[in-house]
Amino acid sequence: MLPTMSSSTNFSFLVALSLFCMAFAAEETTCRFDYIYQFGDSLADTGNRIRQVGVPSVFNISSLPYGMTYFHKPTGRFSNGLLVIDFIAKALHLPLLHPYLETNASFSHGVNFAVGGSTALVNSFFAKRNISVPSKNIPLSQQVKWFKKHLSSVSNSRSQIKKRLKRALIMMGEIGGNDFNSIFSQGKSLKESRVYVPPVVKAICNAVREVIQFGAVHVVVPGNFPAGCLPKALASFSSADPKAYDDYGCLTESNKFALLFNRYLQKALASLRLEFPNADIRYFDYYKAFEYVLQNARYLGFDQRSLLKACCGTGEKYNFNSTKVCGSPGVKACHNPEKFINWDGVHLTQATYHYISEHLIRDVLSEMKCLP
């Protein structure tokens, strides 16, 4: 039985110990990556969204309590501290990734192109279907253009770029969640929204195809986690029918939709592997990693009474209110975020990202095929 974290001191010790183990595992069993390039949305954004001029955010990530745990100040991360990509960088002995939009940042070991709120599909796709998305949305295809522009600025030699990318880890997401959030906001049911799964997956695969054709070799594509366990979903789509919930209190149909999306994505990636036999394309099961945290929450030190509650927010059952979200005036964070799975109703805590990153390093990165 794993020990229960009884204080922030114990948690800090466990994180330090775990990082040591992760770093050791990465050094012993993982390919030597000198660069990381991250694409995606708010789950991986390390500061691009707050650098977009004139783009409001539902969550006020430029103010405390965002960043309160690790950085002790807001950095543009949608969490109280580190994200999965941060733990990966640490385990691989690389600096934390700077956001692409950060002026005069050092990109010597990679770049983070992820932007909070980004979609996999382009804006015109939504416009043709009368689905509203922010006009300054940065879709995945734009992030890929940033990627190519950045590398072309590093070297005008294609052979040099390919040489660099042989030693690079590409994190393609998680992305796609905002596409469906936009679709659901138009009143589309889960059943009606299934028709959008293929185009979203196609957009992700097109991005993978482009970066591989540009020279990338090691690509990780995460799926979606169980959205039906998020406080926002639980507060927004509450039901009087007990059958609408699973044994953990999560929305069953929402989670089935996430699993449907993940299955479709995995099939598409299998086709990409046939198309690019010399590339190592890996799927990361974000859903299963999140599920592991939920199932083992007691032994990982999480508060059993707060598994489906946001640490930062306000509200009754799930501590989430869409009109007064984390970062709003008067909205406070819990004093012990290490005991919460969810941070602000949509995004996760540093503690949760820590355990998810362990799965990614152990189950995916350590198995990647290394190039000479």
Cβ–Cβ < 8 Å for 355, 289: yes
Contact 26, 34 (CB under 8 A): no
DSSP SS3 for 242 = helix
Q: Which residue has the tokens 């699973």?
A: 246
Does 155 qualify as catalytic in the annotation? no
> Active site residue: 41, 45, 285, 344, which one?
344
Peptide bond into 174 cis (omega under 30): yes
Which residue in the list 41, 42, 45, 285 is annotated as catalytic?
Answer: 42
CB neighbour burial string for 159-169, b if at least 16 within 10 angstroms, e if fewer: eebeebbbebb
Residue 327 backbone class (left: φ over 0; alpha: ψ -120 to 50; beta: rest): left
Place of tokens 């149909």: 253
Q: Is 354 a catalytic residue?
A: no
42 classed as catalytic: yes
**What residues form DSSP beta bridges with 78?**
none
User: How far apart are the C-alpha atoms of 222 and 216, rounded to whole Å?
Assistant: 17
- Out of 109, 218, 347, 359, pick the active-site residue: 347
Task: List the catalytic residues.
Answer: 42, 344, 347
